[in-house]
Structure 1
Amino acid sequence: MKRCSWSVLLAMQLLCAALPAHASDPGEIPPAPSAPQQSLVVLVDTGSHMPLADIRDGVLAAGLHRDLGAAIAERLGRIPQFKVWPRKRIGHALEQGEGDILCLYMPEWLPGPLHWSMPFFPFTEVVITRRSARRPLALADLADQQVGTVLGYVYPELEHALGKHFVRADTASGLNSLRKLELGRVQHAETTNLFVDYFLKQGGKLDIHPPLVVKTYRTLCAVSPRGSVAVDDVNRAIGQLLHDGGLARITASYR
């Protein structure tokens, strides 16, 4: 009898050890599944070209807008979602909550009841001139000469300085304008340092005078008043980008 009792006890112990841990408490409530990660909807206008945006079949494939939007979303703990809108409708779309943010803009470019982040992304607008032409020392020196420009863009400094003597040579994009300069089809082009650096990185050849600086400014992110993110949160994410070197790394990849 003693041998039989010890055998039964040993069998019960082995059975208990083989059972899953949660089976010992059938009344235990399993943990709730985690909530899906929230999206950050980033708007990009269809008029953007590399290095700002590479848009293929209505989808943002690459570019500064994509890298910057993804970096901000990461620091907000969100998943980036990109939506492409025509330039003339993108401001209204943001106002109506079709997106959360639109970056690399200035408030004067996008009037309306939008919230704005801190200024953070620098741009320097310049006029560059082929060495075969006379170097302009002021905008007034460009009077009655063709200047490479982008269709649909406005150039208030050139318009103010030159008036009716401002002669535009429009192309579809900033890179096309630089290609015209490279080929000698125009002697001058209004652009930004970012576009010049990217053009040269892609193998372009420019034999130019030192650039004539038009103006320097820092762009912002417009934040929708009907979106899912507050401007204070966007500012915190931008502050982290500036502090941890993320913005510098993004910019360096295009220079």
Structure 2
Amino acid sequence: MRSFVLALLLCWSSFGNAVPAVLRFSAVDSWAMPLAEFKDNHLTGGILHDLINRLAQRLDIPAQIQVLPRNRVELALKQGEIDVRCYVSPKWITNSTEFLWSVPLLYQRDLIVSRQGSEHLASPDAISGESVGTVLGYAYPRLQHLFDRGSLLRDEARNQELVLQKLLAGRYKYAVSNEMALGWFNRDLPDSDRLVSVGTLDEEPVGCLIRNDPAIPAQRILRTLVQMKESGEIDEILARYQ
């Protein structure tokens, strides 16, 4: 009997210290550079590619990255198909308390963007009566009351880069873009063609969430992300894309 109990305790101990064969991360297919670069439905570059792979290296656990539509990610988490989701805020999902959250790692600053010569907006309501370029499936809480009233129409594109390309081509007067994507899009354009911010829509700290499952070394992941943040390693990743 004593031998059986010792064996059982050993099994429990081994399970508690078990390391998964891989850590499964999500990547959203509507992300654009400098956040993410995709080729043949694989994440091949960008800030989040580097962050995920560096985290996996520090943990000594291979990363498996699944590229998914934004509206598919929450379902994949619920069904246990992915373990970690990065570049996300608790405000963006309905069941945020079900997950473990890292410290903020980056900031997403959403801007209202237009072409050269456009006036700065006093408030987002100033674009009522227009069509605005948006990313398919993205929520924009500061504009939702205008969408609900029908006084602002969404002209959607599959990803952030396409939204900005359509703005540059004159498809609409305004678009919503995060600040990093705007800077990356403008970098090779002549000064006369560069898109400009005409107002700030929202600013949100973002980090990683981890599925609350005992088979996932969640606390180790969270500690490692804190170390990466405090050591300046995340700032070094960001600097590569400025």
Answer whether TM exceeds 0.5 for this pair.
yes
Counterpart in the other structure of 1:224? 211
Distance change (3 Å), C-alpha of 1:36 and 1:152: closer
Q: Rg bigger for which structure?
A: 1
Contact residue 128 and residue 210 of structure 1 kept, 8 A: yes
| 1:127 Cα deviation after fit | 0.6
Contact 1:128/1:212 (CA < 8 Å) preserved in 2? yes
Distance 1:46 1:191 in 2: 16
Q: Deviation string for 1:145-176 (max 9, x for gaps)?
A: 22221122221101235642112222221111
Partner-residue secondary structure (3-state), 2:220: helix
From the superposition, tell whether residues 99 and 152 of structure 1 become closer, same or farther in structure 2 (CA, over 3 Å). closer
TM-fit CA distance, 1:62: 1.9
User: Residue 77 of structure 2: which of 94, 99, 107 is its match?
Assistant: 94
Match of 1:54 among 37, 62, 75: 37
| Rounded Cα–Cα distance in structure 1 between residues aligned with 2:30 and 2:196 | 29
Select the residue among 97, 101, 107 that pairs with 1:122: 107
Displacement of 1:193 in angstroms is 0.5
Structure-2 residue corresponding to 1:141: 126
Q: Distance in 1 between matches of 2:27 and 2:84?
A: 9
- 2:197 and 2:29 map into 1 onto residues whose CA distance is 32
Uncovered stretches (5+) of structure 1, i.e. residues with no partner: 1-34
User: Alpha-carbon deviation of 1:231?
Assistant: 3.3
State how many pairs are aligned: 220
Q: 2:93 aligns with which of 110, 115, 124?
A: 110
Q: Which runs of 5+ in 2 are unaligned?
A: 1-17
* Cα drift, residue 91 of structure 1: 1.9
Q: Do the aligned partners of residues 210 and 54 (structure 1) sit closer, same or farther apart at CA in structure 2, a change above 3 Å counting? A: closer
Aligned counterpart, 2:184: 198
TM-score (norm 1): 0.75
**Cα RMSD after superposing both structures:** 2.6
Structure with the bigger RCO (C-alpha within 8 Å, sep 6+) is 2
Percent sequence identity is 26
The corresponding residue for 1:29 is none
Return closer, same or farther for 1:37/1:115 CA change in 2, 3 Å cut-off. closer
How much has 1:209 moved relative to structure 2? 4.7
Paired amino acid for 1:236: R
Question: Following TM superposition, by how much is the alpha carbon of 1:36 offset from its aligned partner in structure 2, in angstroms?
Answer: 9.8
